[in-house]
Chain A
Amino acid sequence: MSPAAARKIEARHRPMVEVRHLSKIYAGGVEALNAISVDFPEGQLTSLLGPSGCGKTTLLKIIAGLIPATSGEVMVDGRPVTGPGPERAFVFQDFALMPWANVLRNVAFGLELKGVAQSEREAVAEKHIASVGLGGFEHAFPHELSGGMRQRVGLARALAVNAKVLLMDEPFSAVDEQTRRKFQEDLLELIAREHKTFLFVTHSIEEAVYVSDRIVILSKRPSQVSAIVEPEIGRGRDPDQIRRDSAYLDTVETIWQSLKRYLD
């Protein structure tokens, strides 16, 4: 990316999440992140792509305030992260739903913890349940839902707290391919509708190119930023057309070439 292009992005979108010289060394001595610095622009979906075990989950959890960094800092909306906060919400790879609670309570759980009154939080939850396409399943229990539906519950729960930043760790990896495509469409719609900043971890290059405004490619552990790609694919077209588009295919190929060297 040329410096001029970089300036253009900075001007258009201020960084919502700033990661500065972040390092993480786990207790066992595993060095997951090595002085990594990266920005996540406001209102955009930025994907983290990198070889398995390179520290994507670690980075996301540090940004979420779930685990402490060894050194360096994370700023969200201009304030340093010291722990979890209401401006961030996490969507889990394994959904992390409470099996003893129905969909309504699961979705309202973030509000329940904040002490929002029951009728109020359930009204908010119902709205978001409907918006992820689960209307009518309010009183179903997680074990009665398919994997795809469970992740919709996880997404609705994250939306219900109205956080500015959504942290999603491989949210679609546990759902089947067809459901996944539908999810990607819904995600694009969501980004267009809600002015939120999305941090999205995925293993799929195609998925990253398809849904992202910006793709951060990480090197092997200990992670550093190896490249930043901005897929210039026209949105708002027919999905099948986009997937055949040469710009789309070229971007996938470029990323594949840069990731390939980390395979051994």
Chain B
Amino acid sequence: MTIGNIRLPIMTSLIIWAILWEIVGRSGASFVIPPLSGIFARIVEIVPTPSFGEALWITGKAFVIGNVIAVLFGIPLGVLMGRSHIADRIFLPWVNLFLSAPLSALVPIIMVIFGAGQTTIIFTVVLFAIWIIVLDARAGVRSITPSLVEMALSFGATPWQAFSRIYVWAALPEILSGIRLGLIRAVKGVVIGQMLVSIIGFGRLFELYSSRFLMEHFWALLFVLFAFAFAINEALTWLERRFEYFASSRN
């Protein structure tokens, strides 16, 4: 970013917004917006506490288990849909429906089935993450050079060998970007799930802070979550770039 001929550092706009926030916060315009400095002080205060640690552990567990399930089921389903017209006909409408549906509205139903607990949250994570993984794996498989598949078949590959040694690798760039997008959706899933269940993990903390109007605490927690989502995205983008040459050398 440049103004006139002065080069401004990349963080400039962020700093300006931060200063603006601090001013609004200090002016006391609204109790919803506490000063930024206060929020950061809270982050330092909250993060080492056992209740935060426990919330992080429970949330992390639901997040990881949910994503593992989404990946383990999503990739084979996507590959199957990419290979078989019949499977595609059967599943594609549902995948597209769930991809665009307001999934939060389904969480209460999940809660009725699985109760207000960790299972519901894991299921919510799966529900949020899986569809984009399926769709991207499907797109990846559809872009595989047909001769690569014929090559494997001509050397006598079993369906499992073709899946594990050709499809997954040839579609890896798309699969990875599906997983990255799935993880970002899963962050939403885990937070929304916990908010609605509101008795475990960060959901409980959010509930606690907002019901007592502890706005600094509330924002501190939110910032930490945003930072997590951002870090996950960056890490996967980096990983994806490493595998990108596949796509360019695939044909």
Q: List A residues at the B interface (Cβ < 8 Å).
A: 61, 64-66, 84-86, 88-90, 92-96, 98-100, 109-110, 112-114, 142-143, 161
Contact = CB atoms under 8 A, between A and B. Distances in A.
B128 to A, nearest CB: 30
Contacts of A96: 145, 147-148, 150-151
Given A86-B156, A90-B150, 7 more contacts: A65-B154, A66-B154, A84-B155, A90-B154, A99-B245, A99-B249, A100-B172
B155 A110 contact: yes
B151 A92 contact: yes
B157 interface: yes
A113 B152 contact: yes
B169 interface: yes
Contacts of A93: 147
A148 to B, nearest CB: 17
A100 B158 CA distance: 20
Contacts of B161: 113
Nearest to A90: B154
Contacts of B84: none
A109 B169 CA distance: 14
Nearest to A110: B155
A142 B151 contact: no
Interface of B: 145, 147-148, 150-158, 161, 165-166, 169-170, 172, 245-246, 248-251
Contacts of B150: 61, 66, 90, 92, 96
Contacts of A85: 156
A143 B153 contact: no
Nearest to B154: A90
Nearest to A85: B156
A21 B169 CA distance: 40
B169 A113 contact: no
B24 to A, nearest CB: 52
Given A98-B166, A143-B245, A89 B154 contact: yes
A169 to B, nearest CB: 9
Contacts of A100: 169-170, 172, 246
Interface centre among B150, B151, B169, by most chain A C-beta atoms within 10 angstroms, is B151
A84 B154 CA distance: 5
7 contacts: A66-B154, A84-B155, A84-B156, A90-B154, A96-B151, A100-B169, A110-B155
B156 A99 contact: no
A27 to B, nearest CB: 11
Contacts of B165: 112-113
A94 B145 contact: yes
A100 B148 CA distance: 12
Contact of A161 (B155, B169, B249): B155
A95 B145 CA distance: 11
B246 A94 contact: no
A89 B151 contact: no
A95 B148 CA distance: 9
A142 B249 contact: yes
B221 to A, nearest CB: 41
Nearest to B157: A113
Nearest to A99: B249
B135 to A, nearest CB: 22
A23 to B, nearest CB: 21
A237 to B, nearest CB: 35
A193 to B, nearest CB: 23
B85 to A, nearest CB: 11
B68 to A, nearest CB: 23
Contact of B155 (A61, A89, A95, A143): A89
B70 to A, nearest CB: 24
A98 B169 contact: yes
